[in-house]
Amino acid sequence: MKHFRSQDARNRFEKRLMNRAIGSYELVSNQDESILAVTSKLEAMENEFEISPRLMITLSLKKAGRLLRTGDWGKVDGILEPGTIALALPYTKAEGFSPEAEMLGIAIDAEKVEAILADSGGIDALHPAASSLTKDSLIESVMIALWRDAQTHGLSSAFFDQGIDLILKRLTKVEVQEKSFRSVGRFSEGQLQRALDLIESRIGMDLSVDEIARELDRDPRSVTRAFKAATGYAPYEYLTHRRMERAKQLLSGRLTILEIALDVGYTNPSKFAAAFRKFNGCSPSEWRRRLS
């Protein structure tokens, strides 16, 4: 077993991880480093995702927020919450944004994925899974079990190989599973997307549930219930979350705290500071000092 901490950036994968990791992270690899497993808390990011030679399977461990990832292979747009599984295909360009999140990830070299899925269509068979967020209790359980085993025995055990084989082959069938999962929701896919887009466009302005309801031609109370069922957040809670994510990005620049507060919809700096502390555990000034 190879066991590393964030101070030992030994390759491009780990350097990319260091750029987003909040605090230390834990990473384990097999002998030839064709498979990596990692747990980390990642900061939010926006714009282009870095191209990787590995397939990345990530399991969200805590409630996070909205993920948007668009590339030539398709688009994934949804909410990361506990148990949500996301895929990033190897050697593909993508852009969008992802929230601050605590994740368990397994990264696998493209050649190894092709070999495991040789009878199922190779990496191409994973395109449907890469174009959606998945909830699958079996994959979730296997990923957690593999990580616990890897911490003790590394990634070269027969148990780990069997687990990776099961996960990849199950992900080739995600299209049918995802339709079943979505059918439980109270929002149609189009309604949820319209609500998320409206919130995204109003981060710096006031927005009420009544306005969201009018946009969707629904009753405000049913909108609140449906939104929380679909995302884990009440509408205003999600709006505040997205405002705090934007504020953290702006704090890395030269705007004053007051200017940032105004940009994300707060005319009262004290209320902005209180909201920021609630979501991030420190004041905006303390966050800026940590960045510098």
Q: pLDDT means per 10 residues in the chain (292 residues)?
A: 37 67 80 85 85 91 87 82 91 88 92 87 85 90 89 73 91 60 57 91 89 87 83 85 92 94 92 89 91 80
Which CATH number does the domain 189-291 belong to among 3.10.180.10, 1.10.1740.10, 3.40.50.2000, 1.10.10.60?
A: 1.10.10.60
35, 128, 190, 218, 261 from 106: Cα distances, Å: 7, 18, 31, 41, 37
The pTM of this model reads 0.65
pLDDT the model gives residue 223:
87
71, 80, 95, 134, 184 from 77: Cα distances, Å: 12, 10, 12, 11, 18
- Give the Cα separation of 290 and 292 in Å (integer): 5
Nearest to 58 by CA among 101, 8, 1, 109: 101
pLDDT the model gives residue 173:
85
pLDDT the model gives residue 157:
65
Report CA Rg, the chain: 20
**Is 134 within 8 Å of 180 (Cβ atoms)?**
no
Task: Name the token pair of 192.
Answer: 């949820």
- Give the Cα separation of 96 and 83 in Å (integer): 21
- Give the Cα separation of 267 and 204 in Å (integer): 10
**Is 204 within 8 Å of 264 (Cβ atoms)?**
yes
Which CATH number does the domain 2-182 belong to among 2.60.120.10, 3.40.190.10, 1.10.1760.20, 2.60.40.10?
A: 2.60.120.10
Task: Give the domain ranges of the chain.
Answer: 2-182, 189-291
- Give the Cα separation of 109 and 87 in Å (integer): 13
